[in-house]
A and B are shown apart, each in its own frame.
Chain A
């Protein structure tokens, strides 16, 4: 630099300095504090209506440079008012002092003042200020201290000026109270420090704000309270119509926030420490990039009186709540999008990606937000959650890893909320609840997707559902898995449509059954069951509203229930709910179909063992859980190769089919009435063997049906030894008979090609009798145990219609046996059994009664028509006893016999009860030659009475005989022997004594001769006797005795012949 220039610059500087000094000195001399104070006080009285005081007013240049400043000390504004009686918040102290400022510094633009005479305030600084602002309920404010201008008299809309420029506003140590009773708003701040600078030009804002408050209280409308300590707010940024660049940070050492409802009840409280909020945004307003960070390390929050935070949360090393929300905002569109945003409750973070649009130009708020969580450890989460959320888990131990991944999309408006989708993944779960589950569940894994419609109005309301991809669990040695859907998730009653599959270890089920149930289970089953039902039906076990369809495949099944033991290596069971109706007697709800290879059953206390092959069991049950419905079952059962042993009995059947129903009525007194069986039973190729039977009974087919009160034998084909029996018919009143209320009635058809009646009676003997009563009778009658007579049931009335081609009965061969056998209340009646044997056509009516074991009754009404005499004697040997002379005849005769006798327990006749009558009619007989006949003929002077073949012809014979006890009486009868007519009569006894009389009624000689046969029948004494019957067959000459004799003969014969059909 040249020396000349140097000297010039120094001189110019010295000149400027001198000028400045002169100006400052001049100002100091002209604008002295006293003068300025005087000016301000004069002006304040003009412009301030309330009592005011301005202490020392000083001019400052350097503090407000480059502006000229006024520094006012001890500013006081006093505006008294009537203190309200109520409505003032606690801690709010009302004072007449409107404001008190230690130092007020105002910087004024000198240039603007000098050039345009405008007072432009560039800077305002307050130090050590206090303010008390009050608005009465009527709207009067102590702030109305300035006189109204003419402009103020006309009502005009208050609006911000187009340009605001604040170089500096600074407040140090302000304590202020604001009480607006008109708007129910009160606030207080202590030790408030504020720095603000910025400007607003045509809505373009450039501001820098710093606010510190030691204590801040806000009370709005008596239902919102805010108390903050050490609040530190910093805001800085540019804000134009098109873009923004702003930062906001807010720290609070402590924040207490509360909201009440109109009744004063707390709806929300938040008591948090160290609130740290940072918000920044930058860029065009339609694509602003920003970020919000919020940290709440500790705190307590209640909603509706319920604590949503716990001590465990506050003890966590993680922040109670943390948010990192990077965003892009379109302020014009009022929309916000998040990318990689994170909201964390403790360590449980939710990642957010998506957008939120606020209502704009008729468009409702719209959300399109994806969310995703990490894998949360459920046990840890439950441990920190508030009790009211986890109270339903009391007594349960749940753990596992849970993660959520989903999206919320949709509008938010009145009654409308976004559709929420959630993919739920649960891994490595465990569950135990000793009071609910007898065993812990482990290896729980689930994957499911939920679609939730949270809208409540009808236009947008829709279904919410969960799709379960899988839900697996393992308990002991049992694995279960569930897949399917749950519809109406948020409705009153969810609809579950699921498939349950499982590998079930049957012993594991024992733990679910009552300890008192005497059951043991072995084996496994594979379950595959589809279930569709409302959740309420499942939880209430309302089976009527549950649909289920599936199979259970049992393997190595071994079940013992009480004394019943069942085994099967493979058994499949299909279940269906509701069941397909199969029987009108049962309201079927539960259907089961069991099929398998082989099933073995043992009943230990019944000595019963049974095995069946190919079991095919269809069972339909009503709602067994409905106590108002009687227990019932419909069934259709089929077995093959049935083999059963019980005590001394063995049963085998190629096939056994049972179809029908049972229905329980506990009020009844016998098993049949208690169960009302209606069943068809069908046996094919069955064999029954018993130890006391020499031969097994074979049943090629056996079908019968039992309905209440009626047992119908549809078709019973039975083979026993050489006999065959075919039965059909009905038996009535079985149930009342078992209750001893009525007799058992029956009408049964019995046919056979060959029947061994003796064998049949042997097996039927004693059946159906009361064993105790029989035992007592045997004891009273001193009946030896070797005696086992047939005892006829006393309360049975069964009619057996017989049709037997050929049979053996009492060692006689009989053919074409037909008639009825009736067992009626202790009486067995063979009623008019018609049959033919090799000798004759026969008809038999027999009665058998067993009033006492040692006093049996047997009676017969026996007719043999067109029989040869020798066959008659061969077939009925007792005829020879009744009519000894009959064996002397040859030829055919009709024979009628009615007799009865009581028997002892060995079937030995009690002769004192023997009572019988017989009639024999024969034609064209021949008298066989024998010594007795010859002797008699010689005595009667018979000559030339033999036929050419040396036999004696008899034209006709009509004999009536009676037997009573040991005496047989043969009533006089006529014998026409060629040229002779003989009358024979007499009696003999069973001990072989006889008194017979033979009298010649007609002969070629004119003599009347008679012969008496007395003594022993085997060796009789034969001699001439007195004529007795000469007038017997001459009505006009017979005497009273002879007349009565013939009447008796007629009476005996008519009584006998009246029974011939």
Chain B
């Protein structure tokens, strides 16, 4: 009977130690590396980040070319990339992504539900 009680307690202790051990490590986004045109891996979906904190995204698989896509403004705060998509009809659609890695050729973000996507730079 005692063993039955001890196991859950141990499990909670180990669990709490693991929780502490897995504490999120903050990642700081390098804005200068973000500037440019990026393509989501395995797709024809492009994101372009301009130095004036504006950008455009389009998907050429649906015959949408650069200049015909959705425009947005962007900003970074530590590891969070905030994108505010701006519609022609006045609507705004905000998105926040958390960067998990970034180089001058690639980066990976994660959305609020834990889904990650990786991007590769296609042009400077």
Interface residues of A (CB under 8 A from B): 781, 845, 847, 851, 854-855, 857, 859-861, 898-900, 902, 904, 910-913, 915-917, 962-965, 987, 995, 1044, 1048, 1051-1052, 1055-1056, 1058-1059
A847 touching B89 by the CB < 8 A rule?
yes
Residues of B contacting A: mostly: mixed
Q: Which residue of A lies closest to B45 (CB)?
A: A912
B68 within 8 A of A: yes
Q: List 21 A-B contacts (CB under 8 A).
A: A854-B63, A857-B88, A859-B87, A859-B89, A861-B89, A898-B89, A899-B89, A900-B88, A910-B62, A910-B63, A912-B59, A912-B62, A913-B70, A915-B93, A916-B87, A964-B70, A995-B113, A1051-B94, A1052-B91, A1052-B94, A1055-B92
Determine if B69 is an interface residue (Cβ-Cβ < 8 Å): yes
**In the complex, what residue of chain A is closest to B57 when comparing beta carbons?**
A912
Residues of B within 8 A of A911 (CB): 62
B61 at the interface (CB under 8 A from A): yes
Contact (Cβ within 8 A) A912 B61: yes
CB of B76 closer than 8 Å to a CB of A: no
The reply to whether A917 and B59 form a contact with Cβ atoms under 8 Å apart is no
* Interface residue? B64 (CB, 8 A): yes
CB within 8 Å for A913 and B88 given contacts A855-B68, A964-B95: no
Q: List, in ascending order, chain A residues with CB within 8 A of B69's CB.
A: 912-913
Say yes or no: B88 contacts A1059, CB within 8 Å: no
Whether, in the assembled complex, B85 has its beta carbon less than 8 Å from a beta carbon of chain A, the answer is yes
When the two chains form the complex, which single residue of B91, B95, B96 contacts A899, counting CB atoms closer than 8 Å?
Answer: B91
- State how many angstroms separate the Cβ of B58 from the closest Cβ of chain A: 7
Nearest CB of chain A from residue B46's CB, rounded to whole Å? 10
Q: How far is the CB of A53 from the nearest CB of chain B, in Å?
A: 146
B113 to chain A, nearest CB (A): 5
Say how far B76's CB is from chain A's closest CB, in angstroms: 14
Interface residues of B in 2-61 (CB under 8 A from A): 45, 58-59, 61
Contact check: which of A860, A902, A912, A915 meets B85 at CB < 8 Å? A915
Which residues of chain B are within 8 angstroms of A899 by Cβ–Cβ distance?
87, 89, 91
Q: Are B89 and A860 closer than 8 Å at their CB atoms?
A: yes
Known A912-B58, A913-B70, A962-B94; contact A845-B64, beta-carbon cutoff 8 A: no
Contact B62 A917 (CB under 8 A): no
Known: A855-B68, A902-B64, A910-B62. A917 touches B88 (CB 8 A): no
Closest beta carbon of chain B to A161's beta carbon, Å: 140
Q: What's the minimum C-beta distance from B33 to chain A, rounded to whole angstroms?
A: 24
| B26 shortest CB reach to chain A, Å | 13
Q: Which residue of A lies closest to B96 (CB)?
A: A1044
**Cβ 8 A contact of A917, one of B68, B70, B93, B113:** B93
14 A-B pairs besides A847-B89, A855-B63, A900-B91 with CB distance below 8 A are A851-B68, A855-B68, A859-B88, A900-B89, A904-B62, A910-B59, A910-B63, A913-B59, A913-B69, A915-B91, A917-B93, A964-B95, A1052-B93, A1059-B90
Nearest CB in chain A to that of B67: its residue = A851
Distance in angstroms between the alpha carbons of A854 and B92 in the assembled complex = 26
Output the least CB separation between B90 and chain A (Å): 5
Contacts A964-B85, A987-B113; is A913 near B62 (CB within 8 Å)? yes
B36 CB, min distance to chain A CBs, angstroms: 20
Decide yes or no: A915 and B70 within 8 Å by CB, A855-B64, A910-B63, A910-B64 being known contacts. yes
Rounded to whole angstroms, the CA-CA distance of A1040 and B90 in the bound complex is: 26
Instruction: Specify the chain A residue showing the minimal Cβ separation from B93.
Output: A962
Q: Write out the residue numbers on chain A whose beta carbons fall within 8 Å of the beta carbon of B92.
A: 917, 1051-1052, 1055
Cβ–Cβ < 8 Å partners of B95 in chain A: 964
Q: How far is the CB of A67 from chain B (nearest CB, A)?
A: 152
State whether A1056 touches B90 (Cβ < 8 A).
yes
B45, B88, B96 pick with most chain A CB within 10 angstroms: B88
The chain B residue sitting closest to A971, CB to CB, is: B94
B61, B63, B90: which contacts A1055 (Cβ < 8 A)? B90
Chain A, interface SS category: strand
Render B66-108 as a binary contact track against A, CB cut-off 8 A, 1 for contact: 0011100000000000000101111111111000000000000
Name the one of B45, B58, B62, B93 contacting A964, with C-beta atoms under 8 angstroms. B93
**A917 and B64 form a contact (CB under 8 A):** no
In the A-B complex, list the 5 residue pairs whose CB atoms are closest, starting with the nearest.
Answer: A912-B59, A898-B91, A917-B91, A910-B62, A898-B89
Q: How far is the CB of A527 from chain B (nearest CB, A)?
A: 70
Query: What range describes how many residues of B lie at the interface?
Result: 20 to 34
| Shortest distance from the beta carbon of B117 to any chain A beta carbon, whole Å | 12
Is B87 a contact of A898 with CB atoms below 8 Å?
A: yes
A846 to chain B, nearest CB (A): 9
Q: Which residue of B lies closest to A917 (CB)?
A: B91
Q: How far is A1055 from B96 in the complex, measured between Cα atoms in Å?
A: 19
B-chain residues with CB within 8 Å of residue A995 when the two chains form the complex: 113
Query: With a CB–CB cut-off of 8 A, which chain A residues contact B94?
Result: 962, 1048, 1051-1052
CB within 8 A of B90: which of A898, A904, A965, A987?
A: A898
Residue of B nearest to A860 (CB): B89
Can you name the residue of chain B whose Cβ is closest to the Cβ of A918?
Answer: B91
CA distance A962 to B70 in the complex (A): 14
Contacts of B91 in A (CB 8 A): 861, 898-900, 915-917, 962, 1052, 1055-1056
Instruction: Give the distance in Å from the alpha carbon of A899 to the alpha carbon of B91 in the complex.
Output: 7
Contacts of A855 in B (CB 8 A): 63-64, 68
Residues of the B chain whose Cβ atoms lie less than 8 Å from the Cβ of A781:
63
Contacts of A1055 in B (CB 8 A): 90-92
Cβ-defined partner of A916 (8 Å) among B64, B93, B113: B93
CB <8 Å contact, A902 and B68: yes
Task: Return chain B residues, CB-CB under 8 Å to A898.
Answer: 87, 89-91
Chain A residues with Cβ below 8 Å from B45 are 912
Task: Give complex CA distance A860, B113 in Å.
Answer: 29
Q: How far is the CA of A855 from the CA of B63 in the complex (A)?
A: 8
How distant is A828 from chain B, measured CB to nearest CB, in Å? 13
A1047–chain B nearest beta-carbon distance, Å? 9
The distance from the CB of B31 to the nearest CB of chain A, in whole angstroms, is 19
Known contacts A964-B93, A1051-B92, A1051-B94: A900-B63 contact under CB 8 Å: no
Chain B: minimal CB distance from A784 (Å): 13
A995, B115: Cα distance in complex, Å? 12
Least CB distance from B72 to A in Å reads 9
How far does the alpha carbon of A179 sit from the alpha carbon of B85 in the complex, in Å?
A: 136
Q: Give Cα A239–Cα B64 distance, bound, in whole angstroms.
A: 136
The smallest beta-carbon distance between A248 and chain B, in angstroms, is 124
Q: Is the CB of B93 within 8 A of A861?
A: no
CA of A111 to CA of B103, assembled, Å: 182
Report the bound CA distance from A651 to B59 in whole Å. 49
Q: Within the complex, what minimum Cβ distance (angstroms) separates A708 from chain B?
A: 37
Residue of B with least CB distance to A965: B59
A879 CA to B91 CA, complexed, in Å: 16
A900–B87 touching, CB < 8 Å: yes
Q: How far is the CB of B82 from chain A (nearest CB, A)?
A: 8
Q: Which residues of B contact A915 (CB under 8 A)?
A: 70, 85, 87, 91, 93
Query: What CA separation (Å) do A913 and B58 show in the bound complex?
Result: 7
Once the chains are docked, how many angstroms separate the CA of A297 from the CA of B113?
Answer: 140
Identify which of B69, B70, B91, B96 gathers the most chain A CB atoms within 10 Å of its CB: B91
Assess the A845–B63 pair: CB atoms within 8 A.
Answer: no
Decide if B88 touches A847 in the complex (CB within 8 Å): yes
CA distance A900 to B93 in the complex (A): 12
* Minimal beta-carbon separation of B64 from chain A (angstroms): 6
Closest residue on chain B to residue A962 by CB atoms: B93
Find A912's partner among B64, B87, B96, B113 (CB 8 Å cutoff).
Answer: B64
- CA distance in complex: A916, B93 (Å): 7
Query: How far is B88's CA from A898's CA once the two chains are assembled, in angstroms?
Result: 9
Residues of A within 8 A of B90 (CB): 861, 898, 1055-1056, 1058-1059
Q: How far is the CA of A964 from the CA of B95 in the complex (A)?
A: 10
**Nearest CB to that of B68 among chain A residues?**
A855
User: Complex: how many Å from CA A1056 to CA B91?
Assistant: 6
Report which residue of B58, B93, B95 has the largest number of chain A beta carbons within 10 angstroms of its beta carbon: B93
Identify the closest chain A residue to B65 (Cβ).
A855
> For the complex, what is the distance from the CA of A356 to the CA of B106, rounded to whole Å?
134
| Contact residues in A for B59 (Cβ distance below 8 Å) | 910, 912-913, 965
| A962 CB contacts on chain B under 8 angstroms | 91, 93-94
